[in-house]
C-alpha cells in the first residue's frame, strides 16, 4: 500500500498520510511507570484515518495469505492504486469485487473488448483504460504462473522460502518504498507478462499479503 500526503502527516513524503495515532491502553503516569511499562503500544500511523483503514490494518495488512483469489485481488487493487491513495481504493473495493467477477482470474482473463468498454463507464472503479486492461492482462499471466507452479501462492512464497520477512520498523519514515526483493519479483513478473508491477507496487503488494510484515515495532499487530 502507498499512502499519499493527505493520509500520514508527511512522515514519508508521498508514501504516508496525515492521521492521528491511536494509543492503545493507558499511558504511564510517570517516568518510573513508563520505564516499568515499556513502550506504549500504538497502531501504525496510517491505521486510524477511517474505520475501513483500521479494519484493513488490524485484520488483513501483513497477514500471510496463501489464497490465490485473495492474492489476485490484491495484485489488481495495488495496481489500481498507482497515483492514488489506498483509502480511495478501499472505498471502491466492493465495486471492484462486483465488476471483476469476484476477482476470479479465470473469468477476468476472458474479459473481451465489450466488457472492458463497459468497465470504463463504471463510476465504482478507477476508470483508467491502462489499469483496466492491465487487470485482464495480469489475469492471463496469473493463470500461466498457476499452471507452472500449481498455485500463484507457491510461486510468490518461494521467493522467501515460505517465511515472511519481518522488518519491525521504528517509524513510518523507516519504511522503504521498494527493496531488493520487490525489485527482483517485479522484474520476474514483467518477464512473465504482467503490467503495473513496478518495484514500488510490488512492495506494497508484498506488505498487503504478508510476505513482508512492516507493522511498526510499537504496533500491537507486529
Domains of the chain as residue ranges with CATH: 68-213 (1.10.340.30)
Question: What are the residues whose beta carbons fall under 8 Å from the beta carbon of 164, sequence distance 6 or more?
Answer: 64, 210, 211, 212, 213
In DSSP notation, 44-92 reads -GGGGSSHHHHHHHHHTTT-----HHHHHHHHHHHHHHTTS-HHHHHHH
pTM of the predicted model as reported, rounded to 2 decimal places: 0.83
Single out the residue of 85, 106, 108, 114 nearest to residue 96, CA to CA: 108
Task: Going from the first residue of the chain to its last (222 residues), give the mean pLDDT of each consecutive group of 10, the final group possibly shorter.
Answer: 45 33 34 44 90 96 98 98 95 98 98 98 97 98 98 98 95 94 98 98 98 95 87
Active site residues: 56, 78, 86
Amino acid at each position: 500500500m502507498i499512502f499519499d500526503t493527505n493520509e500520514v502527516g508527511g512522515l514519508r513524503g508521498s508514501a504516508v498520510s496525515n492521521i492521528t495515532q491511536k494509543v492503545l491502553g493507558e499511558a504511564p503516569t510517570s517516568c518510573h511507570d513508563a520505564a516499568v511499562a515499556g513502550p506504549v503500544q500504538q497502531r501504525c500511523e496510517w491505521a486510524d484515518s477511517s474505520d475501513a483503514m483500521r479494519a484493513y490494518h488490524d485484520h488483513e495488512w501483513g497477514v500471510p495469505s496463501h489464497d490465490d483469489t485473495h492474492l489476485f485481488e490484491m495484485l489488481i487493487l495495488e495496481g489500481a492504486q498507482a497515483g492514488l491513495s489506498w483509502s480511495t481504493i478501499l472505498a471502491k473495493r466492493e465495486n471492484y469485487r462486483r465488476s471483476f467477477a469476484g476477482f476470479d482470474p479465470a473469468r477476468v482473463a476472458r474479459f473481451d473488448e465489450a466488457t472492458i468498454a463497459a468497465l470504463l463507464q463504471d463510476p465504482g472503479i478507477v476508470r483508467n483504460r491502462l489499469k483496466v486492461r492491465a487487470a485482464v492482462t495480469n489475469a492471463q499471466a496469473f493463470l500461466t504462473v498457476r499452471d507452472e507452479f500449481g498455485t500463484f501462492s507457491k510461486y510468490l512464497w518461494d521467493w522467501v522460502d515460505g517465511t515472511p520477512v519481518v522488518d519491525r520498523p521504528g517509524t513510518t519514515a523507516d519504511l522503504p518504498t521498494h527493496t531488493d526483493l520487490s525489485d527482483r519479483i517485479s522484474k520476474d513478473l514483467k518477464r512473465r507478462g504482467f503490467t503495473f508491477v513496478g518495484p514500488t507496487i510490488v512492495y506494497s503488494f508484498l506488505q498487503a499479503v504478508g510476505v513482508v510484515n512492516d507493522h511498526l515495532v510499537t504496533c500491537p499487530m507486529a
